[in-house]
Amino acid sequence: MRVIDIIEKKRDGGELTREEIIFFVEGFTNGEIADYQAAAWAMAVLLNGMTPGETTELTLAMAESGDVIDLSQVVPIAVDKHSTGGVGDKTTLVVGPLVAASGLPVGKMSGHGLGFSGGTLDKMESIPGFRTDLSTQEFIEQLRSTGLVLTGQSVDLAPADGKLYALRDVTGTVPSIPLIASSIMSKKIAAGAHAIVLDVKVGVGAFMRNLENAQELAEMMVSIAKQAGRRAVAILSDMNQPLGYAVGNALEVREAIETMQGLGPPDFTEHCLEIASHMLHLGQLAKDEGEGRKIAKNALDSGRALDYFRMLVQSQGGDGSVVDRLDRLPQAKYQETISASHDGYLQGIHARKIGEAAVKLGAGRSKKGESIDHSVGIIVHHKVGNWVEAGEPLFTIHASKEPLLNSAIKEVLAAHTFSDDKVDPLPLVYGIVK
Ligand code: URA
C-alpha cells in the first residue's frame, strides 16, 4: 500500500477501506507518513467528507493508536460525558457528583481550556491542592473506592489524534465534521467509555455556530458510538450566551458549589439535570430520562451531590473546606460592578466576546502551556430576555491588574445588546440526537 494512492483516492471522492485507514493512521503515528502528506489527506477529507463507515474506522484506528483503558472490571457501565466546549460551561463539576451520588460511578478525564473556551481542569485547579495528574492506577483505584474521579489524561490516549489535531490546527483543516467527530470519539473510546452523553454546543460561543452543523456533528458522533458498540446520546444546547452567570475558573467553581447547595442559576441547574438524567438512563440506573431526572434532582436537593463534590476534592488532595468556605477560593484584587445606563430588554450577551474578555483578564490561554490566573473573570447578572432597569447591576469584572479591568469593562459592555421590544429567552436545548 502507498500513502500517495490513499491521498489521491480521497482527493477524487473515493471511499477508503478499513485497511487503507489503518495503514494511514499507523504510518502517520509512527512517523513513516510525513506531515505534508497527512496535511494533504486532511484537506481532501475536509473538502470531500467521509462516509459514516469511514469515520468510524478512522475513530477506531485513532483510539487504538495508543493505550486503551478497560474499565469493565472496575465498574458495571462506564458512562462518560463530553462537552464540545463553551463559555461558563462548568457542567462537569456538578454533573459528576450528581450522577455519582445517584449511584452511577463517574470516572472523567478532562482537559485544559484553549482560546475563549474554558476547561474543566483549569476550574478544578483553582481549588488549593487539588491534583489533576492522577496516574491510571490512581484513577482506577479512586473510581473503584469512591465512585468519582476527575483528572487529566494520565496515559497516552489516542496519540494519532493528538498528532493529527496539531497538524489540522495549522493547516486550516479543523472545521471538518468527520475529523472533529472522530477526534472526540477516539479519545472517549480510548478512555474506556461504554456509554457517552455528548453535549454539543451551538451558537456564537461554540465550535458549531449553526444548528445544521451541530446536528450533523451530533448525528455523526452518535452513529460512530453505535457502530463501535457503545451507547450515546447527543444534546444540542445553547452557547449564544454564557451558561449560568460566572465565567472564569474560581468564579465557576463557586457557582458550581452554589448550584449543589440549591442556589445556582436556573439555566445552569436545569442544564445539569438534563445531562445527568441522560447519563443515568444510559447507565441503566433509570428506565428513562424522566426517572433519571427525578433521581438526579433528589441527589441535588438532599445535599448528597455536594457531599460527593467535597469527597472528590479531598480524595485528590484538595482543600474540602472550600465547599463551606467559598472565601478560601482565589479572589481577585479588583472587583467592579457596572450598572445598566438605560432600561431595556437584554437582547444578547455575546458568549464568545465574554469568553475572549475573560481570557484577556488572564482566565485562559491564547497558547498551549501558558499559565493562567484562577481568580479573575466575569459575572453577568442577567440572561437574554430579562428586562433590565437603568442603574441595575449588569456585570462584575474580577481582575488582578487595573489596566486589564478597564479594558474588560469596555469589552463586556460591548458584548451586551439591548432592545426596547420584548425579547424571548434563549432555549436551553435545541434538540436531542439518539
Ligand atoms: N475537540 C476535539 O477533541 N477535536 C476536534 O477536532 C475538535 C474539538
Kindly report, residue by residue over 199-235, the tens digit of the pLDDT.
Answer: 999 999 998 999 999 999 999 999 999 999 999 999 9
Phi, psi of 35 (to 5 degrees): -55, -40
Q: Is 183 in the pocket of ligand 1 (CB under 6 A)?
A: yes
Atom of ligand 1 nearest to the CA of 111: 3
Q: Is 75 in the pocket of ligand 1 (CB under 6 A)?
A: no
Read off the pLDDT of residues 37-50 as tens digits, 9 standing for 90 and up. 999 999 999 999 99
Q: Is 200 in the pocket of ligand 1 (CB under 6 A)?
A: no
Q: Is 430 in the pocket of ligand 1 (CB under 6 A)?
A: no
State the Cα–Cα distance between residues 412 and 338, nearest whole angstrom: 10
If you measure from the C-alpha of residue 406 to the centroid of ligand 1, how many angstroms do you get, rounded to a whole number?
34
Question: Ligand 1: which residue has its CA nearest to atom 2?
Answer: 184
State which of 109, 164, 165 you would mutate to test the pocket of ligand 1, scoring each by most atoms of that ligand within 8 A of its C-beta: 165
Read off the pLDDT of residues 74-97 as tens digits, 9 standing for 90 and up. 999 999 999 998 999 999 999 999
State the Cα–Cα distance between residues 253 and 309, nearest whole angstrom: 11
pLDDT at 118 over 90: no
Predicted pLDDT of residue 169? 83
Determine contact, residues 64/245, Cβ cutoff 8 Å. no
Nearest CA among 214, 260, 255, 213 for reference residue 237: 214
- Is 333 tagged catalytic? no
Q: Is 334 in the pocket of ligand 1 (CB under 6 A)?
A: no
pLDDT at 238 over 80: yes
Q: Is 184 in the pocket of ligand 1 (CB under 6 A)?
A: yes
State the Cα–Cα distance between residues 243 and 130, nearest whole angstrom: 24
Q: Which helix (H) or strand (E) holds 38?
A: helix 35-48
Determine contact, residues 187/157, Cβ cutoff 8 Å. yes
Contacts of 8 (CB under 8 A, 6+ apart): none
Mean per-residue pLDDT over the chain, rounded:
96
Read off the pLDDT of residues 165-195 as tens digits, 9 standing for 90 and up. 889 988 999 889 999 999 999 999 999 999 9
3 pLDDT band (50/70/90 cuts)? very high
Average pLDDT score over residue span 324-342: 97
156 pLDDT band (50/70/90 cuts)? confident
Average pLDDT score over residue span 17-35: 97
Determine contact, residues 374/330, Cβ cutoff 8 Å. yes
Predicted pLDDT of residue 366? 76
If you measure from the C-alpha of residue 402 to the centroid of ligand 1, how many angstroms do you get, rounded to a whole number?
35
If you measure from the C-alpha of residue 314 to the centroid of ligand 1, how many angstroms do you get, rounded to a whole number?
31
Average pLDDT score over residue span 347-354: 98
10 pLDDT band (50/70/90 cuts)? very high
Catalytic residue among 67, 89, 122, 161: 161
Predicted pLDDT of residue 84? 93
Determine contact, residues 377/331, Cβ cutoff 8 Å. no
Determine contact, residues 110/121, Cβ cutoff 8 Å. yes
pLDDT at 406 over 90: yes
Catalytic residue among 183, 223, 277, 375: 183
Q: Is 190 in the pocket of ligand 1 (CB under 6 A)?
A: no
If you measure from the C-alpha of residue 184 to the centroid of ligand 1, how many angstroms do you get, rounded to a whole number?
5
State the Cα–Cα distance between residues 48 and 415, nearest whole angstrom: 36
Cα torsion angle, 188, 78, 153, 87, sign: positive
- Is 226 tagged catalytic? no
Predicted pLDDT of residue 316? 98
344 pLDDT band (50/70/90 cuts)? very high
State the Cα–Cα distance between residues 102 and 235, nearest whole angstrom: 21
If you measure from the C-alpha of residue 100 to the centroid of ligand 1, how many angstroms do you get, rounded to a whole number?
26
Catalytic residue among 112, 123, 187, 281: 187
- Is 183 tagged catalytic? yes
Contacts of 145 (CB under 8 A, 6+ apart): none
Q: With helix as H, strand as E and coil as C, how does 59-118 read? A: HHHHHCCCECCCCCCCCCCCEEEEECCCCCCCHHHHHHHHHHHCCCCEEEECCCCECCEC
Determine contact, residues 221/199, Cβ cutoff 8 Å. no
Read off the pLDDT of residues 281-329 as tens digits, 9 standing for 90 and up. 999 999 999 999 999 999 999 999 999 999 999 999 999 999 999 999 9
271 pLDDT band (50/70/90 cuts)? very high
- Is 131 tagged catalytic? no
pLDDT at 253 over 90: yes
Q: Is 109 in the pocket of ligand 1 (CB under 6 A)?
A: no
Nearest CA among 389, 390, 400, 395 for reference residue 410: 395
Segment among 133-142, 149-158, 297-306, 348-357 with least mean pLDDT? 149-158
What is the percent of the chain where pLDDT is above 70?
100
Read off the pLDDT of residues 358-379 as tens digits, 9 standing for 90 and up. 999 999 987 777 889 999 999 9
Catalytic residue among 10, 90, 168, 350: 168
What is the percent of the chain where pLDDT is above 90?
93
Q: Is 221 in the pocket of ligand 1 (CB under 6 A)?
A: no
Q: Please state, in angstroms and as integers, the Cα–Cα distance from residue 105 to each residue in 75, 148, 272, following that order.
A: 7, 6, 16
Predicted pLDDT of residue 264? 98
If you measure from the C-alpha of residue 407 to the centroid of ligand 1, how many angstroms do you get, rounded to a whole number?
31
Predicted pLDDT of residue 379? 98
DSSP for 134-156, written as a single string: --HHHHHHHHHHHSEEEE---S-
Start-end of H helices in 125-265:
136-146, 159-169, 177-190, 211-227, 249-260
